[in-house]
Amino acid sequence: MRNDRNILILLLVFLISIQLRAQEINGGLLLNNNKEIMLSLESKSAVDLFKQFKVNTYKIGFNFKADGLKKNEEGEFVVFFDFMTVVKKDGRTIRKVRRHIPMPYFPGEMFLPAEAFDFIGVLSVTSWDDMEKRTFVPQLKSGILKSGKYEVQLSAIPRDVKGKIDPVTFGFIVK
């Protein structure tokens, strides 16, 4: 009888692991079809960089495939993601921001707006004299980037499913 119970427990664990493994995604983020890219800025302005994303000079691609997902109440396959932004200047992390309000996406290929991430906001405040005080007066500070080498990594983190979305990294130099 004990042997039967052990077999039953093993069978349940096996079935659960198959079910969990079956709900899996994989994909990646790209910037102009690259996982890593150096950008050429037209000015030192973070706002101008934002404009370049808005006029599609730079496009953030997002794609993922899903295996074994269950349909939601509306009969659709949906995966929720948190988005994370890491901004570095001269090799030092300036800010790491993770949005904990998940956004739903359907499997497939799509473009994401720059606003899905927080890099423009973070880059806009790199000129603040004291980032710890978080004081910002727009009339006095215009989002002009200080000289240095910048690196931005964008990530999409799936919620409640296994798998991984490869991040995208881009950099630029401000002289």
Beta strand 168-174 with 148-159: parallel, antiparallel or unpaired? antiparallel
Q: Is residue 79 part of a domain?
A: yes
Q: With beta carbons less than 8 A apart as the criterion, state whether 164 and 24 touch.
A: no
Instruction: Please state, in angstroms and rounded to a whole number, the distance separating the CA atoms of residues 94 and 1.
Output: 61
Backbone phi and psi for residue 159, each to the nearest 5 degrees, phi listed first: -105, 135
81 vs 4, which has greater pLDDT?
81
Q: Is residue 169 part of a domain?
A: yes
Q: Give the range of the structural domain holding residue 148, as residue numbers without chain letter.
A: 25-174
Beta strand 36-38 with 168-174: parallel, antiparallel or unpaired? parallel
| pLDDT at position 1 over 70 | no
Position 165 scores a pLDDT of 97
CATH of the domain at 46: 2.60.40
pLDDT tens by residue, 3-47: 777 666 665 555 555 555 557 999 999 999 999 999 999 899 999
How long, in residues, is the chain? 175
Q: Is residue 3 part of a domain?
A: no
Percent of the chain with pLDDT over 70: 79
Position 143 scores a pLDDT of 80
Q: Where are the beta strands (DSSP E) in the chain?
A: 24-31, 36-38, 60-67, 79-89, 92-105, 108-112, 148-159, 162-166, 168-174
Q: Is residue 53 part of a domain?
A: yes
Q: Is residue 11 part of a domain?
A: no
Q: How many domains does the chain have?
A: 1
Place of tokens 């200080």: 146
pLDDT tens by residue, 37-73: 999 998 999 999 999 999 999 999 999 999 988 888 9
